[in-house]
């Protein structure tokens, strides 16, 4: 199991090291594109009053190592990322036989390698643009764009356009999350590059992209532009793409669609797992501590400077789990009493827990939702309903236990 565990511990370092234009250039927009918020008035589900107990429904079980589930706002389709290099379409409970995208010829599959993440452009219905994160046989991470017709069932792999390429120093910590914020910018998570303990000190090095969350503008520049309000734009020696730093392996992060709060699950080293939160209005620039700290504790030291470090909202030790799977905030229509609840879990022990920022209420849902061992990701559909992905191929939806 330890070998499988490392898929999430490592799936977070992958992303960027190519030059970037900070202004001007081409693109198909003159201003950032806000992320649309689902409308309760148009939801396809019938709401359940109160805060119902929960259960899971099996949606599909034929995927090959599913790692991510995304939607461009299309209620008829969900898009599932398979680690080996394919994106599959899920219609209801039916998997479309032909892959939406197949780049297995350029993806290197390993415990912590492969096709790791997907994000659709906020105006995908108009421009057909989407972005993926994958590793190749040379251990280089690629952040690339593809284009397709909005209603297309397949994508031509030759439409690939490279935004970033990063050579990885070790096999691990290649975090893979891509997501657009409500500001219209693309956020990218990068692990520290490995190996144990961050031997190159990437987490605390503002001159390196590893161990960071990045923020770039894909609607300007060639191949992208740096938003002018990124926190380190004016700091000598710092990479201007950096939004936040001090991460080990932030495999999965998510935005609250309503508040804009940013939730980040950072996989720990040997003692602690953590969930970090950047509350709105977000300004960036936070140092989340690694490798000076792990969770709320000093890493490999009896004492350390805690000045300037933003500590996690949630920490748990390795008696409870060993690899946090960052989750999503519920903003669906079917269970309005659970609105604002952040669900997350652990890849190894399979627990499912939640927290509400407004009240601080924490809750364990494992007895109701079951142990979801090898839990790789959470996802949401166009209505904001939550799904959970397991490495073995199953996808479940969280529903009220009626």
pLDDT at 40: 52
- Between CA 328 and CA 326 the distance in angstroms is 7
Cβ atoms 187, 180 nearer than 8 A: yes
Closest CA to 121 of 173, 163, 62: 163
- Distance CA(352)–CA(326), nearest Å, equals 11
What are the residue boundaries of the structural domains of the chain, listed by start?
A: 2-400
Alpha-carbon span 379 to 34, nearest angstrom: 19
| Predicted pLDDT at 30 | 41
* Residue 15, pLDDT score: 31
Please provide the DSSP assignment of 351-393 as one string. -EEEEETTT--EEE-HHHH---TTEEEEEE-TT--EEEEETTS
pLDDT at residue 42, rounded to an integer: 65
pLDDT digits (tens, 9 = 90+) for 90-102: 999 999 999 999 9
User: How many CB atoms lie under 10 A from the CB of residue 383?
Assistant: 18
Q: Residue 45 has what pLDDT?
A: 73
pLDDT, residue 138, reads: 85
DSSP 7: H
Q: Report yes or no: 267 and 310 within 8 Å, Cβ to Cβ.
A: no
Q: What is the pLDDT of residue 54?
A: 98
Provide the terminal-to-terminal Cα distance of the chain, rounded to the nearest Å: 35
Kindly give the parts of the chain with pLDDT less than 50: 1-31, 34-35
Q: Which CATH architecture has domain 2-400?
A: 6 Propeller (2.120)
pTM: 0.91
């Amino acid at each position: 199991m330890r070998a499988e565990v490392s898929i999430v511990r490592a799936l977070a370092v992958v992303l960027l090291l190519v030059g970037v234009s900070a202004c001007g250039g081409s693109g198909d927009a003159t201003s950032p594109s806000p992320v649309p918020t689902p409308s309760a008035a148009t939801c396809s589900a019938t709401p359940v009053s109160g805060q119902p107990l929960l259960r899971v429904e099996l949606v599909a079980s034929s995927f090959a190592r599913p790692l991510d589930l995304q939607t461009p706002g299309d209620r008829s389709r969900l898009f599932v990322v398979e680690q080996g290099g394919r994106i599959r379409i899920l219609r209801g409970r039916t998997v479309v036989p032909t892959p939406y995208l197949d780049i297995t010829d350029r993806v290197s599959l390993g415990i912590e390698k492969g096709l790791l993440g997907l994000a659709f452009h906020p105006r995908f219905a108009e421009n057909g643009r989407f972005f993926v994160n994958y590793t190749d046989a040379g251990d280089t991470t690629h952040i690339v764009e593809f284009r397709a017709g909005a209603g297309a069932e397949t994508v031509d792999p030759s439409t690939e356009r490279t935004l970033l390429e990063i050579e990885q120093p070790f096999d691990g910590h290649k975090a893979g999350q891509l997501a657009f914020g409500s500001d219209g910018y693309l956020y990218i998570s990068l692990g520290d590059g490995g190996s144990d303990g961050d031997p190159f000190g990437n987490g605390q090095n503002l001159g390196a992209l590893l161990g960071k969350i990045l923020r770039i503008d894909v609607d300007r520049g060639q191949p992208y532009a740096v938003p002018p309000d990124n926190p380190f734009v004016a700091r000598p020696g710092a990479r201007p793409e950096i939004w936040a730093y001090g991460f080990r392996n932030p495999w999965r992060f998510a935005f609250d669609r309503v508040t804009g709060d940013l939730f980040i699950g950072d996989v720990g080293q040997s003692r602690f797992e953590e969930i970090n939160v950047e509350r709105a209005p977000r300004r960036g620039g936070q140092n989340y501590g690694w490798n000076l700290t792990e969770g709320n504790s000093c890493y490999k030291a009896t004492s350390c400077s805690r000045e300037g470090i933003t500590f996690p909202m949630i920490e748990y030790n390795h008696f409870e789990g060993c690899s946090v799977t960052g989750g999503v905030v519920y903003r669906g229509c079917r269970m309005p009493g659970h609105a604002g609840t952040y669900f997350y879990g652990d890849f190894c022990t399979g627990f499912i827990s939640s927290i509400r920022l407004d009240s601080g209420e924490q809750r364990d849902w494992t007895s109701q939702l079951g142990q979801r061992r090898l839990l790789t990701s959470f996802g949401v559909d166009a209505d904001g309903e939550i799904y959970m992905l397991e490495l073995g191929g199953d996808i479940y939806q969280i529903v009220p236990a009626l």
